[in-house]
């Protein structure tokens, strides 16, 4: 059924709101029994790629030359490296340093948020290691002393890492305490609830399933609306000098 050309998606120079009504599936090299919705990529001006992978039972992700972060949204999957094996369920995440051979195989219909970025090493700093965990076991800390806005660091902001991934959970009515304008770019997927996202000079209603890209310096602010908490997964580049 057509929708008379309407969508909530927008593509501006410094931000993208990508809503499920506008998603188009493709396959990436090496994927089997799987599809990718590529939300964010260098084609839009980002220094990383973010996609949703949809896998049939037995489906696999292809390889990547870059670092890879996985967050399991739905289903179940097995992650095998040369030295470890993990069963991932909703809320599980994994970080694989660049050059880590691994396979990810769906045990049933599975959806994953996938972030990939070429690694920028830092002199005198050891390379990062494989990380696997659960979002609900990560330490939760209030942002700017607001107990209604909790941040969980999944990929820690340590110098070895050139990006961080957090979840942010807002109680109904909670909001960022400032409009942020910063050098870091963001990739964001709304996991639960919804609210209003200010991006640039626009205010957008957003809900679970929406994906947002914010370019460096894109003015940004969020307030949770509704009777349940709003939660998102958010990527940002970190710990590297702007001049490289
Ligand atoms: O970490 C951040 O920059 C985060 N507070 N930004 C955001 O939620 N848009
Ligand atoms: Mn921010």
Confidence bin at 2 (pLDDT 50/70/90): confident
pLDDT for 1 equals 64
- What's the average model confidence in pLDDT over 191-208? 98
* Cβ atoms of residues 115 and 187 within 8 Å: yes
Amino acid 52: pLDDT: 99
pLDDT tens digits, one per residue of 98-127 = 999 999 999 999 999 999 999 999 999 999
On the question of pLDDT at 196 being above 80, the answer is: yes
**DSSP state, residue 177:** S
Q: Does an H or E element contain 79, and which?
A: strand 77-81
Question: Which atom of ligand 1 is found nearest the CA of 232?
Answer: 8
Ligand closest to CA 234: 1
User: How much is the pLDDT for 157?
Assistant: 81
Tell which one of 17, 166, 180, 237 to mutate to probe ligand 1, the residue whose CB is within 8 A of the most ligand atoms. 180
Give pLDDT tens digits for 30-86.
999 999 999 999 999 999 999 999 999 999 999 999 999 999 999 999 999 999 999
Q: How far is the CA of 113 from the centre of ligand 1 (A)?
A: 18
Q: Taking all residues of the chain, what is their mean pLDDT, rounded to a whole number? A: 97
With a 6 Å cutoff on the Cβ, whether 168 touches ligand 1 is yes
CB count in 10 Å sphere of residue 124: 5
102 close to ligand 1 (CB < 6 Angstrom): no
Model confidence pLDDT, tens digit, residues 123-138: 999 999 999 999 999 9
Gap from CA of 235 to ligand 2 centroid (Å): 9
Kindly state if the Cβ of 236 falls inside 6 Å of ligand 1.
yes
- The phi, psi pair for 125, rounded to 5°, reads -125, 125
Is the minimum distance from the CB of 169 to ligand 1 under 6 angstroms?
Answer: no
Please state the pTM of the whole predicted model. Answer: 0.97
CB 189 within 8 A of CB 16: no
Give yes or no for residue 88 having a pLDDT over 90. Answer: yes
190-205: average pLDDT:
98
Identify how many contiguous H helices and E strands the chain contains and give both numbers: 0, 20
Q: Which of 237, 215, 217 is nearest to 166 (CA)?
A: 237
β-pair partners for 152: 140, 167
What proportion of the chain, given as a percentage, has pLDDT over 70? Answer: 100
Q: Say yes or no to pLDDT of 231 above 70.
A: yes
Q: What's the gap in Å between 97 CA and the centre of ligand 1? A: 24
Quick one: pLDDT at residue 199?
98
State the residue for tokens 């995440």: 93
| C-alpha Rg value of the chain to the nearest Å | 17
To test the pocket of ligand 1, the residue of 166, 169, 176 to mutate (highest count of ligand atoms within 8 Å of its CB) is 176
Could you tell me whether strands 211-214 and 15-18 are parallel, antiparallel, or unpaired per DSSP bridges? antiparallel
Biggest alpha carbon–alpha carbon distance for the chain: 57
């Amino acid at each position: 059924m057509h929708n008379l050309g309407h969508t909530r998606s927008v593509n501006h120079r410094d931000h993208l709101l990508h809503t499920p009504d506008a998603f188009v599936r493709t396959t990436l090299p090496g994927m089997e029994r799987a599809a990718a919705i590529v939300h964010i990529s260098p084609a839009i001006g980002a220094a990383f790629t973010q996609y949703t992978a949809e896998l049939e039972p037995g489906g696999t992700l292809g390889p990547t030359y870059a670092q890879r972060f996985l967050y399991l949204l739905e289903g179940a999957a097995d992650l095998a490296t040369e030295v470890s094996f993990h069963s991932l369920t909703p809320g599980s995440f994994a970080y694989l340093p660049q050059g880590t051979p691994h396979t990810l195989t769906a045990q049933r219909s599975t959806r994953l948020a996938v972030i990939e970025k070429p690694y920028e090493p830092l002199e005198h700093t050891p390379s990062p290691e494989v990380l696997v965990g659960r979002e609900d076991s990560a330490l939760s800390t209030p942002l700017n002393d607001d107990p209604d806005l909790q941040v969980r660091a999944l990929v820690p902001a340590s110098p070895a890492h050139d990006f961080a991934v957090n979840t942010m959970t807002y109680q109904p009515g909670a909001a960022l305490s400032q409009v942020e304008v910063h050098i870091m770019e963001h990739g964001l997927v709304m996991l639960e609830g919804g609210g209003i996202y200010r991006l640039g000079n626009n205010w957008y209603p957003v809900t679970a399933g929406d994906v947002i890209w914010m370019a460096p310096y894109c003015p940004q602010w969020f307030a949770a609306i509704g009777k349940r908490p709003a939660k998102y997964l958010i990527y940002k580049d970190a710990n590297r000098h702007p001049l490289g």
